[in-house]
Amino acid sequence: MERNKELIDSLIKFQELLTKHPDTVDSIPVFTNYIRSFLRIKPMGRTLPTIEIMTLLKKEKPQMFYLLKRHSKDDIMTMLTYLNMDYDQAQIKIERILQGEVIA
């Protein structure tokens, strides 16, 4: 359960970052650092909602996301910027995880 707490805490931090940081190039290091730490989480009984995180980032910070995608020199970050799904479904899944539902 502790690992899922780590995931929930990380998702709460992501929501705070989305609210706090502007959609500018200056936010790239903040979100890059967040994504790197997020990818280190090993949740129990589920996969990381990586596609959902990238979808929310793309929709809510489009300028920053575009610059991140365009100027990324890291293969992993480049690959992550190509992940995408329906925005509404991504929001629903993140919200369900935050409410403690077990989602594979």
CA neighbours closer than 13 Å in the CB half-sphere of residue 74: 10
pLDDT score of 45? 81
Task: Note the pTM of the prediction, 2 decimals.
Answer: 0.90
- Mean pLDDT across the chain: 92
pLDDT score of 46? 83
The count of other CB atoms within 10 Å of the CB of residue 59 is: 15
Q: What are the tens digits of pLDDT across the range 64-93?
A: 999 999 888 889 999 999 999 999 999 999
Looking at residue 53, its amino acid is: I
